[in-house]
Amino acid sequence: MSSMHERFAAILVEKFGLGADEISPTSTLEDLEMDSLALVELVVSVQKEFGVVIDDSELPGDATVADVIALIGARQQEAA
Amino acid sequence: MRLAAPLGLTAGLWYPPTRQSTEDAIAAGHVDTRTARALGYTELPVSEDTAPPDMAVAAAQAVLAHGRCDPLELSLVLHACVHHQGHDAWSAPHYIAHRLGADRATPIGLLQQCNGGAIGIELAATRLQGDPDAGPALVTTADRFLLPSWDRWLTDYGMAAGDAGTAVLVHRREGPHHTDLVLHALATTAAAELEVMHRGDDGLDATPLGHGPMIDVRRPKKVFVRDQGIDVFHKIAYEKVTAVVAESLADAGLAPDDPRLRYAVLPRLGVKALEQAYIPPLADSTPAELLDLGRTSGHVGAGDLNANLADLASGDLLEPGQYALVLNGGGGFTFTAAIVSRPGAR
C-alpha cells in the first residue's frame, strides 16, 4: 500500500469510523456508505491532509478509493 | 415552560393522496442509493394539486370537528411554514382563519424554520396562560416542496421533504373540547449562532431566489462544514437537546426513568442525521424507548413535532396514563421538547 493510501485510509478511519479492513483500493464510496454530507466532510479532510481542493461533485458513488487517491495525486501535480 | 395547569391538545394531520416511493425516486435519478440509505425513508407524500394553506385548512377542519371546537371560539390561529405558501406579499394565516370561520381569532404567521409548529404550541400555551379570557388556540403547519424552487430529495442534507398539513388545537380542558393528549410541559432553547448554517458566507442583499432558481440549503451548509466542521453543530445540538429534555421532564414532574414515560419521539429527519445529532443526547438523557414516526412521511417542514403529536393522538401508541417526550429542532437553530400524556388514568 502506498503512503497516499494509508493517509487517505486514516481519514476514513478517524473521521468516519470505518474499519481499516473495510478499506481497499477497490472499495467504492458506495461500499463505504459515503452519503452526500459525508462527501463534503471528506473533501474538507482531504484538503487539510493533502492541500488540494476537490469538489464533492467529483466523487460519484462508483468512484473507488484508488480513483480518489489518483484524483488527489493529479491535483497535487497540477499545483506543483 | 412550566404550565400553571396541564393543557388539552387535539391534533391531526393531512396528507395528499399521492406518494413517491424511495425505490421510484432512485429509479428516476432523483436521489442516489447511498444518500437514500442514509435518509432511511420508504416513501414521501407529494402534493401536486393542493396548496399548503389548503392543506392546513383540511387538517384544521378535521381537528376542530374532532375537538368539538366552534371556530368562533378560537383566539389565535398560528400558522408556521418553511417554504412558499402560494402567493407573495399575502397572509396565509389570515386565509386559513377566514376559510375556517375563525372570525374572532388573530391570525399570525411564524417564520421559525422547521421548529415553527413547536413554537406555535408554545405561543398558544403562553396566550392561554396569560389571558384568562382567551379561547382555544389553533396551530397549523403546511408545506409542499416542489420543483423548480425546492428539490425534496436534494435541497438539504440529512432529510428529504414530504408534503403535509398539520393542526393542533390547544385548550384549557374546559367545556366540551375533546382532549387527545394532555400537554404537561414544553421547553425551548435556541442556538442563534447556528443561523450561519443556512446562510454560509452569503450577504443579505439578494432578491428573492437571488442565489439561484432552486433553494439550495446544501450550498451554505458546505461552507459551514468547511469553515467550522459538522462536529460544531453536533456538539451544540447535544448540549441543547440535553437541556430541553431535562427542563421539560422536570417541569412535567417526571424523572428521566419514570416508567410512565413510554416514548421519546424523534424529529422526522433522515436516519443518519438522527443518529448523529439527536439520538445520542436523547438516549443519554432518558431510557424511554425511541420512537421514529417519520419513515413514510419524510420531514414535513415546520410540522414534524405537530405531526408526531397527531400520530400519538390518533393511534394506540400511548395507553391512558402513559407519557411521551416529543423532540424537535429547526434551523436557526431552535430546539423544543414537549411532554404529553394520554388522558384517562392517573
Which residue, B181, B205, B237, sits at the end of a domain? Answer: B181
Last residue in a domain, options B150, B181, B212: B181
Tell me if B73 is assigned to some domain.
yes
Block residue for cell numbers 467529483: A58
Higher local confidence (pLDDT), B209 or B240: B240
Q: Per-residue DSSP letters for B165-198?
A: EEEEEEE-S-TT---SEEEEEEEEEE-GGGGGGG
So what's the pLDDT on residue B84?
A: 95
**Could you tell me if B157 and B198 lie in one domain?**
no
Per-residue pLDDT tens for B322-344?
999 999 999 999 999 999 999 98
Please name the residue of chain B whose CA is at the shortest distance from the CA of residue A33.
Answer: B34
What CA–CA distance (Å, rounded) separates B206 from B220?
14
| Per-residue buried b or exposed e for B36-48, using 16+ beta carbons within 10 Å of the residue's own CB | bbbbbbebbbbbe
CA B314 to chain centre: 17
CATH topology for A3-79? 1.10.1200
CB B325 within 8 A of CB B294: no
Question: Which residue, B144, B161, B181, sits at the end of a domain?
Answer: B181
Its domain, for residue B228, covers 182-341
- pLDDT tens for each residue of B76-120: 999 999 999 999 999 999 999 999 999 999 999 999 999 999 999
What ipTM score was computed for the predicted complex, to two decimals?
A: 0.77
Tell me how many domains chain B contains.
2
* Residue B346 is assigned to a structural domain of this protein: no
What is the C-alpha to C-alpha distance for residues B137 and B118, in angstroms, rounded to an integer? Answer: 13
pLDDT at A13: 93
Average pLDDT, chain B: 96
For residue B230, give the nearest of A41, A56, A61 by CB distance. A41
Check whether residue B295 and residue B166 sit in a common domain.
Answer: no
d(CA A32, CA B37): 12
Cell numbers for B67, please give them: 375537538
The string of DSSP codes covering B255-296 is -TT-TTEEEEEPPS--HHHIIIIIHHHHHHH--SEEE---TT
We report the CATH number of the domain holding residue B24 as: 3.40.47.10
**Would an 8 Å CB–CB cutoff place A61 in contact with chain B?**
yes
Residue B216 and residue B106 in one domain:
no
Distances (CA, A) of B82 to A22, A63, B40, B158: 40, 35, 22, 16
A14 close to B (CB below 8 A):
no
Q: Which of A28, A33, A36, A62 should we substitute to test contact with B (largest number of B Cβ atoms within 10 Å)?
A: A36
Active site residue A31: no
What's the confidence (pLDDT) of residue A1? 56
Please report the pLDDT score of residue B345 as a whole number. Answer: 59
Residues of B with CB under 8 A from a CB of A: 32-35, 37-39, 154, 157-158, 218, 221-222, 225-226, 229-230, 272
- Chain B residue numbers touching A56 (CB-CB < 8 A): 222
Please give the residue of chain B at the shortest CA–CA distance from A35: B35
